[in-house]
Chains A and B, each alone.
Chain A
Amino acid sequence: MSKIKEVKTMATRDAYGKALVELGKIHKDIVVLDADLSSSTRTQYFAREFPDRFFNFGIAEANMMGAAAGLASCGKIVFASTFAIFATQRAYNQFRQSIAYPNLNVKVVASHGGISVGEDGVSHHCTEDIASMRVIPNVTVIVPADAVETREAVKALVKHYGPAYLRLGRPKIPVIYEDDYSFEGKKLNFKIGEGVTLKDGSDVTIVATGLMVYEALQAFEELKKNGISARVINIHTIKPIDADLLVKAAKETGAIVTAEEHSIIGGLGSAVAETIVQSYPVPMQFVGVKDIFAESGPWKELLKKYGLTSSEIVEAVKRVLKLKK
């Protein structure tokens, strides 16, 4: 499959690390915590710049979440980082009880989401986090599509009061936005809870999040060649989800394919389905990790083997169009 154009690549975690340093200069209330993964999550950049506002808790995620709650209750804007699997599963109850329930201003920013973690294997993959985090009340869940959007999301989260989960990835992925957060010449504004229509179309809507947004854009080109007009929506905020935009897309295109680097159970696909079935049900197909654990391997090969590619999206579009009346 041909690429849209040659694009530069950058890991979303790198963008996070850099954004934190910039924001740390402006906002003196930002405090950053990590659990012995700061060199991987890139909070290390902040730690070097602001050693008095960085605390490493060692390999103890539960304690880190509690300390985050305590700091937030004293007025700090807390960023707590580790890998997605540990942030959401080693410390799930701590996040729910100590942070989300009292609605404290803690941003859990997890790198290494999905299976693009690669060779480390299933122990370090995470395909359940969108589901498990979005089900908790008060929590905002964001999965940026690239490095530029990550920076915008981190900036927005500093201004947004309340608990949030920001899911980032390990590998260098295509940067789809210009550095000023514009897309194909159109300047965008990052707003929590607002989806971004990247391509307009009338036959079907592809709703994607995270690194699958780039795949969705590639699928758009492929479908165009086959005379299929696809709308592409980037849902960076999975909760609260942009219901208006999705229902409009359902009405105008009559079919939806979702694409996410997450289990097809409980993630973006489920969130979109929950939204549209209540007002304008249309046929849907889900592209995501099936109900299985992946395995070790180079990340691009894993995405291929486990069905997270533009060609899988194209196939799903073909299936959904058959269901469309």
Chain B
Amino acid sequence: MTVFDHKDEPHDEELIQRLRKIALEIRKDVLLMTTKAGSGHPGGSLSAAEIIACLYFHHLRYDPENPQWEDRDRFVLSKGHICPALYSALSRAGFFPREALWTLRKIGSILQGHPDMKKTPGVEASTGSLGQGLSIGVGMALAGRIDKKSYRVYVLLGDGELDEGQVWEAAMSAAHYRLDNLLAIIDYNGLQLDGPVNQIMSIEPIAEKWEAFGWHVIEIDGHNVRQILDALDFAERIKGKPTAIIAHTIKGKGISFMEGKVEFHGKPLTEEQLKLALKELELQEKLLSIE
């Protein structure tokens, strides 16, 4: 057993710097993986980099040598298309070798175009058809209750994904069953495939909607590591109801020419764009070490 359990580490500067650096590394992996694959969804992967870094390298309890460890926390990537970010984190956490990252979307790869729980160690649910992950999380949270386990269930949703009615069926049932071991995180980057969320299908007022469905709501800057860590901790103290963290993010975050650009939802960078992007990320890493 090599359980990763760092939840109680203090949220000091060192931890925050470390997680910010991991988020940059995840961004690099995402861009390299998707360009090498020739397809994939870099934009939304970048907006969730800090959230995934905080979960996998501080908050979640898991055992990469025993991915099916019964007491592990469960993370469900409901917005399955941003799996490059998850794959990067899982390989860095030790679930599978890093070389696998460069086989993304290729025949015979353990890394499918969307998450596959049977092929990829550490992936908890097969997602990709949007709107289904929160329901799966509800089932996992109920199982934890039946088995009197202390594990918690985390579901990352996209903002466009909230268009799906099933999300709200799941939200209703989670509150009905008072699933305080369930946490939803909404990566609110404001863009969906066809354009800005508020133009394609208005989802506002989001916070009020989740509250009306019986959830405790926390709103944060989804790129601010300290806010993410504090929100994840705070959510554990909310009893009798599930918690939703609405994380305000930027699609394509970290790369000047990708930020807020809808065309990078489902399109990888060209080789030239990749070079520029990696330079930008390296510069950010240098700045981070100076801070």
Chain A residues with CB under 8 Å of chain B are 31, 52-53, 55, 57-58, 60, 62-76, 78, 93-94, 97-98, 101-103
Contacts and interface: CB of A to CB of B under 8 A. Distances in A.
B129 to A, nearest CB: 4
Overall SS of chain B's interface: helix
Contacts of A102: 116-118, 125-126
B138 interface: yes
B143 A94 contact: no
A98 B118 contact: no
B132 A67 contact: no
B79 to A, nearest CB: 14
A74 B126 contact: no
A73 B125 contact: yes
B220 interface: no
Given A68-B139, A98-B132, A63 B146 contact: no
A179 B127 CA distance: 43
8 contacts: A57-B169, A60-B166, A66-B170, A70-B125, A74-B143, A97-B127, A97-B132, A102-B125
Contacts of A52: 146
B176 to A, nearest CB: 8
B94 interface: no
A64 to B, nearest CB: 8
B140 A70 contact: yes
B214 interface: no
A63 B170 contact: yes
Contacts of B126: 97-98, 101-102
A66 B139 contact: yes
A55 B132 contact: no
Query: Which of A57, A65, A97: most chain B CB closer than 10 A?
Result: A97
B91 to A, nearest CB: 21
A163 to B, nearest CB: 12
A70 B137 contact: yes
Given A63-B166, A66-B170, A102-B118, A71 B135 contact: no
B75 to A, nearest CB: 12
Given A60-B172, A62-B166, A94-B132, A31 B137 contact: no
A255 to B, nearest CB: 43
Interface of B: 70, 76, 116-118, 124-129, 131-144, 146-147, 153, 165-166, 169-170, 172-173, 176-177
Main secondary structure of the interface of A (DSSP, over half): helix
A98 B140 contact: no
A52 B143 CA distance: 11
Cβ-closest 8 pairs across A and B: A70-B139, A66-B135, A74-B143, A63-B169, A67-B139, A60-B169, A70-B140, A70-B136
A202 to B, nearest CB: 47
Given A57-B173, A70-B143, A71-B143, 15 more contacts: A31-B146, A58-B173, A58-B176, A62-B166, A63-B138, A63-B169, A64-B135, A66-B138, A66-B170, A67-B136, A70-B137, A74-B140, A74-B144, A94-B166, A98-B126
B128 A97 contact: yes
Contacts of B143: 31, 70-71, 73-76
Nearest to B140: A70
B173 A67 contact: yes
B125 A98 contact: yes
Contact of B140 (A73, A94, A97): A73
A265 B126 CA distance: 31
Contact of B135 (A70, A76, A101): A70
B172 A58 contact: yes
Contacts of B173: 57-58, 60, 63, 67
B177 A55 contact: yes
Contacts of A55: 142, 177
A96 B64 CA distance: 28
A52 B132 CA distance: 24
A67 B138 contact: yes
B19 to A, nearest CB: 28
Contacts of B153: 70
B139 A72 contact: yes
A56 to B, nearest CB: 9
Given A63-B173, A98-B126, A69 B136 contact: yes
Residue of B127, B141, B143, B177 with most chain A CB atoms under a 10 A cut-off? B143
Nearest to A75: B143
A75 B140 CA distance: 10
B260 to A, nearest CB: 30
A66 B132 contact: yes
B136 to A, nearest CB: 4
B211 to A, nearest CB: 20
B134 A66 contact: yes
Contacts of B118: 102-103
Contacts of A103: 118
B151 to A, nearest CB: 9
B253 to A, nearest CB: 28
Interface centre among A62, A78, A103 (most CB of B within 10 A): A62
B113 to A, nearest CB: 13
A252 to B, nearest CB: 41
